Amino acid sequence: MMKAVTKYAKKRVREVNKAVDFYTTTNATLLDDEKIAFIKEHDISTTVSFDGPREIQDAQRSFANGKGSYDVTVPKLKKLLEKCPGTLAHAVITGHTDPRLVQNALLEIGFMEVGVAPVSGSLSGNNLMETKPDRDLGGLLKLMEQEAETWIKHTKNKDSQFLKRFMLTSQLHHGLLSFAHNVKKRYPCGAGLRMVGVACTGDVYLCHRFVGMDAYKPGSVFDSDLDREKYHQSPLTFVEECRKCSARYSCGGGCKHDNLGSCGSVFKPSEDMCCLRRRQVELSAYVVCLLKLKYVPDPDRVRIFLK
Ligand code: SF4
């Protein structure tokens, strides 16, 4: 299917004089030389879902027969990274797992860019809201606090080589850039706006995570328009928690699917995630203010150091 879609999309963009980019997310268990060559040939930006050290990966991502996927997947990842070194890793943190342990394991495999995120409420249990997510955000909070000090120390030392690598794994990187460039987010992401999820039936959902959930289906590719008016208004204007939140312009209102899974409504943010986002903003502000006041006289200089 990916081959057919890629071929068709490339043909169509030529016909209508537009451009197209391809992205995919994979658990990499079925990768082989042919698929890696295809990814490389079509310049497909790839994210691999992989949760870090063997014991965590095997516990969180096992095959249907119960066997862990670490040993099968790692050699394939190494081949992929050899051909496509810019491949991203995305790890899910559950329970009390130390995020640094996960980051280090992924860097050791050969990834340069690593993102870690707490397990989403929408992923726990078979039904949304049935089980609360098993997530303890203490480890991520601690990691961000350490990162703030690392940013300050290495920016003061003008260690650009270190910072170039560090920004690819840092939880504060986007927050710092937003502060340095005064960027304000009014939506958490493009779900239902400039991004949708399309099922093989042609039904259109808010995003790929909602596929199959009829309450979040604004229409179909066969309709002349989509019914998505209610998603056009920024959550920052009508969600009570967000209207007065100090992190609102950095967050934009929280992932709709996580909100639904944790609190039962796409417009009801979960407290623990809000706590994490507020700390992220506080720490980013702390770093940028300190550097601006004491070491970096203008925002352009910050940009140079962060590049
Ligand atoms: S952190 Fe929570 S309350 Fe604040 S804007 Fe984001 S979702 Fe809304």
Write out the DSSP string of 152-186. HHHHHTT-HHHHHHHTTT-TTHHHHHHHHHT---S
Q: Is 189 in the pocket of ligand 1 (CB under 6 A)?
A: no
Q: Is 253 in the pocket of ligand 1 (CB under 6 A)?
A: yes
Q: Is 266 in the pocket of ligand 1 (CB under 6 A)?
A: no
Of 50, 49, 31, which Cα lies nearest the Cα of 40? 31
34 occurs within a structural domain: yes
14 occurs within a structural domain: no
Say if residue 302's pLDDT is above 60: no
What confidence tens digit (pLDDT) does each residue in 147-201 have?
Answer: 999 999 999 899 999 999 999 999 999 889 888 888 899 999 999 898 999 999 9
182 lies in the same domain as 282: yes
Share of the chain above pLDDT 90, in %: 79
Which of the four pLDDT bands, split at 50, 70 and 90, describes residue 134? confident
Of 280, 95, 54, which Cα lies nearest the Cα of 176? 280
Residue of 291 and 7 predicted with greater confidence: 7
> Which tokens is 113 given?
């860019």
What CATH number is given to the structural domain containing 51? 3.40.50
Beta strands in 75-163 (DSSP E): 88-93, 113-118
Q: What is the pLDDT of residue 35?
A: 97
Residue whose CA lies nearest to ligand 1 atom number 2? 274
199 lies in the same domain as 211: yes
50 lies in the same domain as 110: yes
Q: Is 197 in the pocket of ligand 1 (CB under 6 A)?
A: no
Amino acid identity at 82: E
Residue ending a domain, among 173, 206, 230, is 230
Rounded to an integer, what distance in angstroms lies between the CA atom of residue 307 and that of residue 289? 18
25 lies in the same domain as 90: yes
Which of the four pLDDT bands, split at 50, 70 and 90, describes residue 303? very low
Distances (CA, A) of 198 to 149, 182, 261, 269: 43, 34, 21, 25
Distance 16 CA to ligand 1 centre (A): 40
9 occurs within a structural domain: no
114 lies in the same domain as 248: no
Q: Is 217 in the pocket of ligand 1 (CB under 6 A)?
A: no
274 occurs within a structural domain: yes
Whether the full predicted model's pTM is greater than 0.75, yes or no, is yes
Residue of 304 and 133 predicted with greater confidence: 133
162 lies in the same domain as 300: yes
Burial 7-41 (b: 16+ CB within 10 A, else e): eeeeeeeeeeeeeeeeeeebebeebeeebbeebee
Contact between 87 and 47 under an 8 Å Cβ cutoff? The reply is yes
Number of domains in the chain: 3
Atom of ligand 1 nearest to the CA of 277: 1
Q: Is 277 in the pocket of ligand 1 (CB under 6 A)?
A: yes
60 lies in the same domain as 101: yes
291 occurs within a structural domain: yes
What confidence tens digit (pLDDT) does each residue in 264-280 have?
Answer: 899 999 999 999 999 99
Residue whose CA lies nearest to ligand 1 atom number 1? 274
What confidence tens digit (pLDDT) does each residue in 80-121 have?
Answer: 999 999 999 999 999 889 999 999 999 999 999 999 999 887
Distance 39 CA to ligand 1 centre (A): 36
168 lies in the same domain as 256: yes
Q: Stretch 128-140: mean pLDDT, rounded?
A: 73
Say if residue 128's pLDDT is above 90: no
50 lies in the same domain as 67: yes
Q: What is the pLDDT of residue 191?
A: 92
Distances (CA, A) of 19 to 11, 13, 84, 91: 10, 6, 21, 30
Atom of ligand 1 nearest to the CA of 259: 7
Q: What is the pLDDT of residue 178?
A: 86
99 lies in the same domain as 146: no
201 occurs within a structural domain: yes
238 occurs within a structural domain: yes
Rounded to an integer, what distance in angstroms lies between the CA atom of residue 90 and that of residue 102? 10
Q: What is the pLDDT of residue 39?
A: 97
Q: What is the pLDDT of residue 123?
A: 57
Rounded to an integer, what distance in angstroms lies between the CA atom of residue 260 and that of residue 241? 15
Q: Please give the residue range of the domain that contains residue 213.
A: 190-230
63 lies in the same domain as 27: yes
Say if residue 306's pLDDT is above 60: no
Rounded to an integer, what distance in angstroms lies between the CA atom of residue 268 and that of residue 261? 10
6 occurs within a structural domain: no
Say if residue 18's pLDDT is above 80: yes
How many other CB atoms are there within 10 angstroms of residue 254's CB atom? 26
89 lies in the same domain as 105: yes
Distance 2 CA to ligand 1 centre (A): 36
